[in-house]
Each structure stands twice: as structure tokens, then as C-alpha cells.
């Protein structure tokens, strides 16, 4: 079935690194832009980044720019988020999401179940 499954979360110390993965199935992954979105405990949704179909265009939110990097491997139907120099405030559930791109009207029509990242000493 059509789904996204995240993995790679866990406990990491401040200043550490983590790489999240998102496995796509049931649709033609290479045809879609993809995004990462996170949700801190008890808080709202925060968009983090998007990547174009080929991976040639990426965009990151200011809050993670220079520390997080989105990438994809279309041959493996996989999306990634490399997170470096992690801080306590990066503690959150991280979701990957499929992006519907229609002119300047973008939204997220398919979400994974999320993976929890905890940054603590």
C-alpha cells in the first residue's frame, strides 16, 4: 500500500549527529517532492525542509539551516535527513511527508508515522 516509514530516531547527546531515513512504497517516489516536518513534545507542526524530484533543489527552514541536510536516493525509494550539531530543542517526532506541488500551492498529502529524536545528555 501507499506508505512512508521513518527510521533512525533515538537518543543522542547535544552536539551529536543522527541520520533519519524514510522508506517510500506504493507510489512512484521519483515523481514527488518530499519534505521533513517535526513536532516537539506537546507542540505544533514545524516544517523543516523540502527536496525536488531529482534532488537538485533543496530548501531548509532557518531553524535548521547549516545543521540539517535533506537528500534522497530515488533508486532506493528513500528520503534522508542528516542532522548535525543537535540541540535539546531539536527533540521532536520527525515526519517525512509527500509534497503535492501545484503552481505555488504546496501541501502534504501523505505522512509517515514519525520517528522520535531525543537530544539529551
Partner 1 sequence: SYVLTQPPSVSVAPGQTARVTCGGANIGVKSMHWYQQKPGQAPVLVVYDDSDRPSGIPERFSGSNSGNMATLTISRVEAVDEADYYCQVWDTTSDYAVFGGGTKLTVL
User: Interface with partner 1 by CB under 8 A: which residues?
Assistant: 35, 37, 44-47, 50, 59, 61, 95, 100, 102, 104-109, 111-114
CB of 28 to partner 1, least distance (A): 18
CA pair distance 34, 49, nearest whole angstrom: 8
For residues 13 and 113, which CB has a smaller minimum distance to partner 1 in the complex?
Answer: 113
Give bridge partners of residue 82 from the DSSP assignment: 19, 69
For residues 27 and 111, which CB has a smaller minimum distance to partner 1 in the complex?
Answer: 111
CA pair distance 6, 9, nearest whole angstrom: 8
CB of 55 to partner 1, least distance (A): 17
CB of 50 to partner 1, least distance (A): 8
Residue 61 near residue 81 (C-beta atoms within 8 A): no
CA pair distance 10, 120, nearest whole angstrom: 10
For residues 16 and 107, which CB has a smaller minimum distance to partner 1 in the complex?
Answer: 107
C-alpha cell at 98: 509527500
Amino acid at each position: 500500500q501507499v506508505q512512508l516509514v521513518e527510521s533512525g530516531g533515538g537518543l543522542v547527546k547535544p552536539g551529536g549527529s543522527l541520520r533519519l531515513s524514510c522508506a517510500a512504497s506504493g507510489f512512484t517516489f521519483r515523481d514527488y517532492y518530499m519534505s521533513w516536518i517535526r513536532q516537539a513534545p506537546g507542540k505544533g507542526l514545524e516544517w523543516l525542509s523540502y527536496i525536488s524530484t531529482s534532488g537538485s533543489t533543496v530548501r531548509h527552514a532557518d531553524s535548521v539551516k547549516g545543521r540539517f541536510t535533506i537528500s534522497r536516493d530515488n533508486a532506493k525509494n528513500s528520503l534522508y535527513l542528516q542532522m548535525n550539531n543537535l540541540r535539546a530543542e531539536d527533540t521532536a517526532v520527525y515526519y517525512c511527508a509527500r509534497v503535492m506541488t501545484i503552481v505555488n500551492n504546496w501541501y502534504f498529502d501523505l505522512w509517515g508515522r514519525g520517528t522520535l529524536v531525543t537530544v539529551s545528555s
